[in-house]
Amino acid sequence: MKTLTIVGGAVIGLSCALRAAESGWEVTVYEPDQTCAASRVAAGMLGIAGESRTGEDAYLAFAEQAMSRWPAFLERLGDDRIVAASSSLMVGVDSADVGELTMVADWLRGRGHPVEPLTGKEIRILEPAVSSRIRSGFRAGGELAVDNRRLLQVLSDRAAEAGVRTVRSQVTDLADVRGDQVVLAAGVNSALLSPDLGVYPSKGEVLRLGWATGALPPPEHVVRGRINGRAVYVVPRHDGVVVGATQYDGGDDRLPVAGGVADLLSDAIELMPSLREYRLLSAEAGLRPATPDGMPLIGRVDDRTVVATGHGRNGILMSAITAELVAETLAGKTIDNPSIDAGRLSWATQ
């Protein structure tokens, strides 16, 4: 049996490990400590519309393809507690927020996305906890969210059941790892092992709030708001919500900053006043692995090494498709996909 070593055991590494083990590889994953992984700190949105910027058609197209892999991925994982919400509401307060949302909705509709415009009143019928200051918005159908920590646990269990071995140690040099093939899927740490990839940290803070007796229950939808020009999202959990996220490109420490936490709390409470009564369970910061053009880096960089990193704000959405593309690359197939276009990786291999 051919051996595969995967460096990185968070959402991308584990998804690749499970898929490769099922394709007949003997897989070992190196992951010293998953607790700092961006996918563990995340809120778990599968952000197709929510994470695409108006006009970025290539990104949106890849996000759509990524989403199309999720039904089968969820079926394979076989755990009905992974999905946390089955659609998202995009809402705005002032006229600038509403103007921006209208532009996004028009672009998405033009690309065939299910976009349902909603008045403030209609939004509050769907989500009674949303503030009466919210003027309008739209529902993005099929824009799911998952419980990212549950997903990581289930992925880790399924990978172990499929025979994947995990080693709790840090790889400091790819030349030191054994294996017929190596997959570099270490998120932002991929930059330490392969600096030429150009992956850099994009720090983001998230808060976890727990429902408290007497408060309105958590929402059923993801609620993404533009409040005073800033973006904030509230993502349901069965016992509370996750609120996110700030973004500081280049920030490279994992300590949340007081100002970022204050903005998130005040924007989330403005969006959903009942959150004021929830318990503040944690404030954390993660480092998203960003790339200069915003697209992930997936593909072969040399005879032994395949990379799967640089997923930026959408590692969870893109986990299933990444595992598929990596498995095909390992099997020697030629893949027609913009994210693994050889041209994008050629500069990293010179």
Footprint of ligand GLY (CB under 6 A): 45, 47, 51, 204, 244-245, 288, 313-314
Complex with ligand GLY: residue 50 or 120, whichever CB lies closer:
50
- CB-CB contact of 11 with 1 (8 Å): no
CA distance from start to end of the chain = 31
Complex with ligand GLY: residue 204 or 299, whichever CB lies closer:
204
Complex with ligand GLY: residue 171 or 232, whichever CB lies closer:
232
Complex with ligand GLY: residue 9 or 204, whichever CB lies closer:
204
- CB-CB contact of 131 with 226 (8 Å): no
CB of 74 to ligand GLY, least distance (A): 18
94 by Cβ neighbours in 10 Å (0-12 / 13-18 / 19+) ranks as middle
CB of 344 to ligand GLY, least distance (A): 21
Complex with ligand GLY: residue 245 or 345, whichever CB lies closer:
245
Residue of 107, 152, 130 lying closest to 286 (CA atoms): 152
Q: Is it true that the peptide bond before 245 is cis, omega within 30 degrees of 0?
A: yes
CB of 21 to ligand GLY, least distance (A): 27
- Residue 276: phi, psi to the nearest 5? -55, -30
Complex with ligand GLY: residue 248 or 348, whichever CB lies closer:
248
Residue of 177, 154, 150 lying closest to 6 (CA atoms): 177
CB of 148 to ligand GLY, least distance (A): 10
CB of 45 to ligand GLY, least distance (A): 5
Label residues 148-172 b or e (16+ Cβ within 10 Å = b).
Answer: bbbbbebbbebbbeeebebeeeebe
CB of 313 to ligand GLY, least distance (A): 3
Residues in the chain: 350
- Residue 153: phi, psi to the nearest 5? -65, -45
Pull the structure tokens for residue 189. Answer: 């740490």
